[in-house]
Chains A and B, each alone.
Chain A
Amino acid sequence: MRLLLVEDDRTIASYVSKGFKEAGFAVVHAADGPSGLELALGESFDAAVIDIMLPGLDGLSIIDEMRRRQIHLPVIILSAKRSVGDRVEGLHKGGDDYLTKPFAFSELLARVEAIMRRATASPETTTLRVADLDIDLLARTVTRAGQRIDLQPREFGLLEFLARNAGRVVSRTMIMEHVWDYHFDPQTNVVESRICRLRDKIDKGFERPLIHTVRGVGYVLKSLP
């Protein structure tokens, strides 16, 4: 997996590069607009992460030029600006997703994988499996170690989202957005409360817990070795 990263802030660039490399990506970094565009046009990538504010040429122009030349590389736009107008313009120009700084790296990784999945258009899976937990997306049933677990529709949605991102930390904001279509995190701990209920049903009575809390970041569904 080759990823193009166009970002002028050195700290953010090195932190993002490191993260993607650990996740198994080959990262090519450009620190300004023109060299970013040159790379995007000259080399082949699986995905790109492009900052909007860049020296030389802004990120939206890079995407514009890429799309004009029929390069349909999936792109995530990064920006410190957070107005809806920028978001709309970015997506209109052909960005596939948009992330506001500061962001959680886990969220960026999840979004990059999501747009790559969308781009490769892999056939939709109908079952998800994490350790001894089986989720049937069509029948909307959950079993663990062969034992049937009854879930409320919301709980099923939450578990499905965790399972689709199994092994990866998802933030409360991501959960609110993908499970409830709420684009903010209420002050009341609604996610924590839901996770708590879900944990009661999924992990209670089993030796190995699958739902883990990562302090300050979010939650992850995985089987710890």
Chain B
Amino acid sequence: MFSNLYPDLRRPLALRLTLWYAGIFAVSSALAFGVLYFIFVSVVRARTDDDLEEDIQEFASFMQHDGLERVRSEIAVETSGNPGDSGYQLWTGEGRLLAAGRTGPASAPAEGDEPFLATLGRSPRVRWIEGAIAPGYVMRIGQSLEDDDAFIADFRNGFLLTLAAIVLLGAPVGWFLARRALRPIEALTRTAVEIADGALERRVPVGEGGDELALLARAFNAMLDRIQALIEAMREMTDNMAHDLRNPVARIRASSEMTLAGGESTAGSTLEECDRLMDIIDTTLDIAEAESGAARLNMTPLDLSKLVLDACDIFKTAAEDHEILLTAHVPDACSLSGDQHRLQRVLANLIDNAIKYTPAGGHIRIALEDDGPRVRLSVQDTGPGIDAEDLPHIFQRFYRGDRSRSGNGNGLGLSLALAFARAHGGDLTAQSTPGEGSTFTIVLPRAR
């Protein structure tokens, strides 16, 4: 903790915050002290001037009640009684000095109705007042400002000392506060660095409460959760894909070796495996293209009922070969704007899938429901169903549950169907009851 008090130049933000803090602290303190000092000086000066004006009035009352002699004697008393700090002069209206105590300006005062105030001389400076005490008599009274100036100087020195202390203290306090505020960000940075080094399971500590930094930490952790999930899914996908690509290559190798060793030509099966590989690559690209939104859909008005009936017609004989009943319930017409070739593929993939998993004697029902803004197309089979633990993953690329691992699909059909459905602004979902069958439902919006 104590080491944190020393500014660290490797942390420019903390240093900058500290400088700003100390600077603003010093400027505002100086401003406050400046205003206080001005008010203080004004008050002290005003008090002196009030005293002098009272003196003039006192002498005016002496003059009025007791006459000129009383004024003379008061001057004498004041001059002897208060050594050092005051001067008194009595002038006539014609500019003749009648009485004087101690030093003072030699010139005659100008006669005026209002008292006149002026500061004259240096160390000690003297505050003089001139005022008429009776018609034709002008009194001039001076008061030394030595005491006032000393008082103000003491006050000012005290101020400056305190200000210096505040400025000196402001920097470390600012550093302390800046470091304290930035500590969660440093934790965030450390975690990010660790993650960049490969520790993907690390998370930022989330502080108590809901301040901005706690929100940032939470958002950061949520982002990490997502990234981790994506990377794990991708890792799994890559493993599966490598497996799925390896198999055709292995078969091509094996059959080519057999041909070389003098067996019968296996060019045909090599071509088949090549097509399988190409299909995997193309389909992967199609999915990526659709998912990234880069796919340009060729939207045309089409009749979904006809699309379904055509697909049934195409798959009819293949379903019969598998002894599966394939039926479709569609409205007379179901117009929709869509990409015909992609929708054909979505439907064909779902039917492919159903045929693959439905045992002989089973039934595949295709139903098309039109509910105005949306169109719902479902493909229901009487296959073995999908295990609950597999259901959330069946749309992942190359994912295959234990049941389908041995199948001949490429593990991409459902991913592609989902990607194309989503590219149309729709969705594809699956429900399944193990032992009874599965239903895949595509929902497509009518207008986009």
Contacts and interface: CB of A to CB of B under 8 A. Distances in A.
B356 A85 contact: no
A217 interface: yes
Contacts of B315: 186, 188, 190
A102 B274 contact: yes
A216 B278 contact: no
B289 A83 contact: yes
A180 B352 CA distance: 16
Given A182-B314, A190-B317, A190-B318, A216 B267 contact: yes
Contact of B352 (A82, A85, A188): A188
Contact of B345 (A82, A184, A197): A184
Interface in A165-209: 180, 182-190, 192-194, 196-197
A193 B318 contact: yes
B268 A82 contact: no
Nearest to A172: B275
B103 interface: no
User: By CB atoms of chain A within 10 A, which of B274, B314, B320 has the most?
Assistant: B314
A84 B352 contact: no
B379 to A, nearest CB: 13
Contacts of B409: 187
A197 B268 contact: no
Nearest to A100: B282
Nearest to B354: A188
Nearest to B408: A187
Given A183-B341, A184-B345, A188-B351, A217 B271 contact: yes
B314 A190 contact: yes
Interface residues of B, number: 37
User: By CB atoms of chain B within 10 A, which of A85, A187, A217 has the most?
Assistant: A187
A68 B354 CA distance: 52
Contacts, number: 72
B313 interface: yes
A84 B318 contact: no
A1 interface: no
Contacts of A149: none
User: By CB atoms of chain A within 10 A, which of B295, B298, B318, B320 has the most?
Assistant: B318
Interface string B313-343: 1110110110000000000000000000100
B122 interface: no
A190 B315 CA distance: 6
B237 interface: no
A191 B356 CA distance: 16
Interface in B273-289: 274-275, 278-279, 282, 285, 289
Interface residues of A, number: 25
A193 B323 CA distance: 13
B397 to A, nearest CB: 16
Contact of B268 (A84, A102, A187, A214): A214
B344 interface: yes
B212 to A, nearest CB: 45
B419 to A, nearest CB: 14
B296 interface: yes
A154 interface: yes
Contacts of B310: 180
Given A82-B282, A85-B296, A216-B272, A189 B289 contact: no
A187 B410 contact: yes
B321 A193 contact: yes
Interface of B: 267-272, 274-275, 278-279, 282, 285, 289, 295-296, 298, 310, 313-315, 317-318, 320-321, 341, 344-345, 348-349, 351-352, 355-356, 408-410, 413
Given A82-B285, A186-B349, A188-B318, 10 more contacts: A180-B314, A182-B341, A182-B344, A182-B345, A187-B408, A190-B315, A196-B321, A197-B317, A216-B271, A216-B275
Top-6 shortest CB links A-B: A215-B268, A216-B271, A216-B268, A193-B318, A193-B317, A216-B272
Interface of A: 82-85, 102, 154, 180, 182-190, 192-194, 196-197, 214-217
24 contacts: A82-B285, A102-B274, A102-B278, A180-B310, A180-B314, A182-B344, A182-B345, A183-B341, A183-B344, A184-B345, A186-B349, A186-B351, A186-B352, A187-B352, A187-B408, A187-B409, A188-B318, A188-B355, A188-B356, A190-B314, A192-B318, A194-B317, A214-B268, A216-B275
